[in-house]
């Protein structure tokens, strides 16, 4: 099996209903496996808490945000006298099953199926819902494969994909009132995206730049998320000891969208212009790998009356197959 130190594959998808749950959001991590199919389970957590105009610093785990609960009140946000409480929050959690399969030594196909638990608390109103997200499928082409000259390596992957509207976007309260769009696990729209990933490394050091542009469709309720873009810059270092590989990194993630449109009207306060940064780690042992990152809010351009982005946590466990042949142009690795 060929062995590359610097392959960084960023899986692109929007599984949660909107930008608040990550425009691109999925993270496969830095992997030394070259042209190897894999299956993985990932968990993502994104939190918004604290109002700027009240100088609230917010918390990564406000009370009730992370714990999965059932039920909720039947109130709607529009009927509440807003108090801008420090206990208000929006939290988005996703549990993802991911699969990647190399059909050719330069072509990979990917699929992501996931379940989300989305929660919102605003004054006395609380909403939460758990359901199936929209599945995502995409294909990547390794335009530049591993090149190793004078300890310099680089790789370029380009690709595109789509998200299907098969997730639930019509969940209701016990009284039959549709839950807010932010809480719905699905979007109800068919979305397409293109992306690229470039990796450059020198000896044990490396960087990876991933960029994505996403075109979002409109659902049955005439709701649409504005077209979005995101960029991911990672700086990493490789440590190898026997069968173990450790890759600590600094990860920077930027996302932008104008916001949510309802009947072609942009909703005030729904834009996202945010930079997150924080440490990450990849640990490899034989065919298994564990990845984790914690990212904090470094910059945000958002209306002061809205909740601030506090950051996100991503953890994942991956099994890499010892793939010997490809479906197309069967060639040993």
Q: Report the C-alpha gap between 58 and 48 in whole angstroms.
A: 8
Percent of the chain predicted with pLDDT > 90: 44
DSSP secondary structure letters along 153-217: EEEEEEEEEEE-S-S----B-TTSPBPPTTT-S--SS-EEEEEEEEEEEETTEEEEEEEEEEE--
- pTM, rounded to two decimals: 0.82
Choose between 133 and 52: higher pLDDT: 133
CB 19 within 8 Å of CB 255: yes
Q: Is 232 helix (H, G, I), strand (E, B) or coil?
A: strand
CB atoms inside a 10 Å sphere around CB 265: 9
Q: What is the pLDDT of residue 333?
A: 43
Q: What is the pLDDT of residue 1?
A: 37
Q: Report the C-alpha gap between 187 and 118 in whole angstroms.
A: 13
Residue ranges covered by each domain of the chain: 3-320
Dihedral of CA atoms 296, 300, 305, 309 in degrees, nearest 10, equals -20
CB atoms inside a 10 Å sphere around CB 207: 18
Q: What is the pLDDT of residue 173?
A: 83
| Best CA proximity match to 238, nearest among 284, 287, 290 | 284
Q: What is the pLDDT of residue 305?
A: 64
Burial string for 149-170 (b: 16+ CB within 10 Å, else e) reads: eeeebbbebebbbebebebbbe
Residues recorded for the chain: 333
Strands annotated E in 52-163? 89-102, 107-122, 125-132, 136-144, 152-163
Mean pLDDT of 44-70: 69
The distance from CA 186 to its chain's CA centroid, rounded to whole angstroms, is 15
pLDDT at residue 303 greater than cutoff 80:
no
Q: What is the pLDDT of residue 5?
A: 33
Over the chain, what is the mean pLDDT? 80
Confidence of residue 325 (pLDDT cuts 50, 70, 90): confident
pLDDT at residue 78 greater than cutoff 50:
no
How confident is the model over 161-181, as pLDDT tens digits? Answer: 999 998 889 988 888 889 888
| Best CA proximity match to 142, nearest among 108, 110, 112 | 108
Mean pLDDT of 172-201: 88
How confident is the model over 228-275, as pLDDT tens digits? Answer: 999 999 999 999 999 999 999 999 999 998 888 999 998 877 788 889
Q: What is the pLDDT of residue 30?
A: 58
| Best CA proximity match to 45, nearest among 119, 104, 106 | 119
Pick the CATH number of 3-320 from 2.40.128.130, 1.10.357.10, 3.30.590.10, 3.30.497.10: 2.40.128.130
């Amino acid at each position: 099996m060929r062995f590359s130190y610097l392959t960084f594959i960023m899986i692109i998808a929007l599984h949660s209903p909107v930008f608040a749950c990550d425009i691109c959001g999925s993270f496969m991590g830095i992997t030394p496996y070259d042209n190897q199919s894999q299956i993985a389970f990932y968990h993502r957590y994104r939190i918004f808490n604290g109002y700027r105009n009240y100088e609230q610093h917010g918390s990564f785990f406000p009370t009730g945000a992370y714990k999965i609960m059932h039920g909720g009140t039947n109130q709607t946000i529009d009927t509440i006298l807003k108090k801008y409480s420090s206990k208000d929050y929006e939290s988005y959690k996703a549990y993802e099953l991911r699969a990647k399969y190399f059909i050719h030594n330069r072509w990979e196909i990917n699929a992501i199926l996931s379940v989300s638990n989305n929660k919102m608390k605003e004054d006395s109103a609380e909403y939460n819902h758990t359901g199936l997200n929209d599945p995502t499928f995409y294909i990547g082409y390794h335009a530049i494969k591993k090149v190793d000259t004078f300890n310099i390596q680089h790789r370029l992957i380009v690709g595109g994909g789509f998200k299907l509207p098969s997730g639930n976007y019509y969940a209701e309260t016990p009284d039959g009132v549709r839950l807010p769009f932010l809480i719905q696990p699905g979007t109800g729209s068919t979305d397409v995206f293109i992306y690229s990933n470039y990796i450059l490394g020198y000896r044990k050091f490396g960087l990876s730049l991933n960029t994505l542009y996403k075109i979002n469709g409109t659902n049955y309720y005439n709701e649409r998320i504005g077209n979005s873009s995101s960029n991911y810059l990672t700086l990493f270092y490789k440590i190898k000891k026997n069968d173990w590989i450790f890759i600590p990194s600094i990860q920077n993630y930027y996302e932008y969208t104008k916001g949510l449109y309802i009947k072609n009207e942009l909703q005030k306060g729904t834009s996202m212009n945010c930079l997150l940064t924080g440490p990450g780690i990849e640990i490899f042992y034989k065919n298994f790998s564990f990845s984790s990152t914690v990212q904090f809010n470094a910059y945000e351009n958002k209306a002061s009356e809205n909740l601030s982005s506090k950051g996100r946590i991503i953890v994942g466990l991956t099994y890499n197959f010892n793939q010997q042949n490809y479906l197309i142009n069967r060639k040993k690795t």
